[in-house]
Amino acid sequence: MDMKLKQQASAITELTFDLLRCCEAKEKMFAKDHGLKVAEFRCLRIVEAGKSYSVQELATSMHLSPSRLTRIIDGLFAEKLVDRVQSIEDRRFAKISLTNKGQTLVGKLKEEYADLHGEMLKDISVEDRDKIYNGISLMQGLVSTWLVRNA
């Protein structure tokens, strides 16, 4: 058994766990400050202006069930942030897209959420920021691949 791997895995497990708790708290604060539910913020953050998505696509990329997504979209629709139209090619599909109001909000959201991270990152060196990027990028790839294989 690879002792070095075991030790590195333990350390990374611990760190990732802590990072997760902090980032969840951060997301919750941010969503609340913008009058959104966390689920709504998370959903809005992944829809790009001009594109349209099926319920299933959104569910998959958010790692949630389709039924959960229906409810989240209900909320966004009620606030007139997204449109929901039946696909013409296959009328079983919904086509979810941002309204103008939604696009404006999402633009602001992305801008300000990046600013928040900019605030955190502003006092460290460009090199350290790259280290963060590279480390998280590697980790994200691994977890993502693992999930596909084990879900």
- Residues in contact with its own copies by the rule CB under 8 A: 2, 4-6, 8-13, 15-27, 29, 42, 45, 62-63, 113-122, 124, 126, 128-140, 142-147, 150-151
Q: Is 109 in the site for DNA (CB under 7 A)?
A: no
Using alpha carbons only, give the angle 144, 149, 151 rounded to the nearest 5 degrees.
85
109 binds, among its own copies, DNA, none (CB under 5 to 8 A by kind): none
| Residue ranges in 60-89 that form contacts with DNA under rule CB under 7 A | 63-71, 73-74, 84
What's the closest the beta carbon of residue 77 comes to DNA, in angstroms?
A: 9
State the SS3 of 30-53.
HHHHCCCCHHHHHHHHHCCCCCCE
Could you give the CA distance from residue 17 to residue 128 in angstroms, rounded to a whole number? 21
100 binds, among DNA, its own copies, none (CB under 5 to 8 A by kind): none
Task: Write down the residue that tokens 């086509």 correspond to.
Answer: 95
User: What's the Cα-to-Cα distance from 132 to each of 24, 125, 127, 128, rounded to whole Å?
Assistant: 18, 11, 9, 6
Task: Tell me the helices (H) and strands (E) count for the chain, helix number first.
Answer: 6, 2
Could you give the CA distance from residue 95 to residue 54 in angstroms, rounded to a whole number? 5
37 binds, among DNA, its own copies, none (CB under 5 to 8 A by kind): DNA
What's the closest the beta carbon of residue 3 comes to DNA, in angstroms?
A: 34
Q: Kindly list the residues in this chain that would bind DNA in the complex (CB under 7 A).
A: 24, 28, 31, 37-40, 54-56, 63-71, 73-74, 84, 90-94
